[in-house]
Amino acid sequence: MPALSASKKVPALVAFGKAVRKRRTELGYSQEAFGDACEMDRSYMGGIERGAHNPALLNILRIVEALDLQPSEFFRALDRGAKNRQSDALK
């Protein structure tokens, strides 16, 4: 799947990527080492972190596993962010 242009980034993908980057750095992974842990190319992982790629479910599950989280734990943080994005959109 081609990368999304900067002007067409989907807020949910950007939020997902930021959450991945935050946890990855907390765990001390470089982007390259994390890509290896997920069995994904570093450049593809960078695109995910920038919100430029829409990863498939199996890739999402690999990422979450490499972040040493349960899917429910990972997505709970995104739930809070989604509520904030929705309230900001209503202002």
Q: pLDDT tens digits, residue range 18-55?
A: 999 999 999 999 999 999 999 999 999 999 999 999 99
Residue 7 DSSP symbol: G
Which pLDDT score is estimated for 57?
Answer: 97
pTM for the complete prediction?
0.80
d(CA 32, CA 24): 11
pLDDT at 85 over 70: no
d(CA 73, CA 51): 20
Contact of 35 with 59, CB cutoff 8 Å? no
The dihedral formed by the CA atoms of 44, 57, 72 and 45, expressed in degrees to the nearest 10: 0
Average pLDDT over all residues of the chain = 86
d(CA 12, CA 74): 14
Q: What are the structural domains, with CATH classification, of the chain?
A: 10-90 (1.10.260.40)
